């Protein structure tokens, strides 16, 4: 159980939107789903590896926030200038106050 004061981080949630460019292609842009959601950031694991002659850092983390219905694995979270791809939003009971959103960063979104 979390106390409200533990949700001390503000995050923004975005969704990628594809629009036609009029000549048979698509343009990908980001649309805001929700801004300034209070959450608790908890890093789970991280690793550093070489990929295509480049050093890459990957991190797995979880954001704990008040339960809401408008966030899914089709979205991504922006926190401290980094984009975190949502990989899992476990189902919650309607009586539960909080939800966990599992994310990863360091990979292409």
CATH number, domain with residue 85: 2.40.10.370
Q: How many domains does the chain have?
A: 1
C-alpha span between 88 and 62 (Å, rounded): 9
C-alpha span between 94 and 91 (Å, rounded): 9
Compute φ and ψ for 69, nearest 5 degrees.
Answer: -100, -10
C-alpha span between 105 and 34 (Å, rounded): 19
Q: For residue 87, what are the domain limits?
A: 4-105
Per-residue pLDDT for the chain (109 aa), expressed as one digit of tens each?
677 688 999 999 999 988 888 888 888 888 999 999 999 999 998 767 676 777 777 889 999 999 998 999 999 999 998 999 999 999 888 888 899 999 998 754 3
Strand partners, 64: 40, 100
């Amino acid at each position: 159980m979390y106390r409200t004061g533990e949700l001390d981080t503000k995050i923004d949630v975005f969704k990628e939107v594809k629009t036609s460019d009029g000549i048979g292609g698509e343009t990908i842009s980001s649309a805001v789903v929700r801004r300034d959601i209070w959450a608790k950031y908890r890093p789970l694991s991280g690793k550093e590896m070489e990929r295509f002659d480049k050093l890459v850092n990957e991190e797995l983390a979880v954001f704990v926030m008040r339960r809401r219905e408008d966030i899914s694995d089709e979205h991504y979270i922006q926190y401290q200038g980094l984009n975190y791809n949502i990989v899992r939003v476990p189902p919650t009971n309607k009586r539960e106050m909080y939800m966990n959103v599992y994310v990863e960063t360091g990979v292409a979104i």
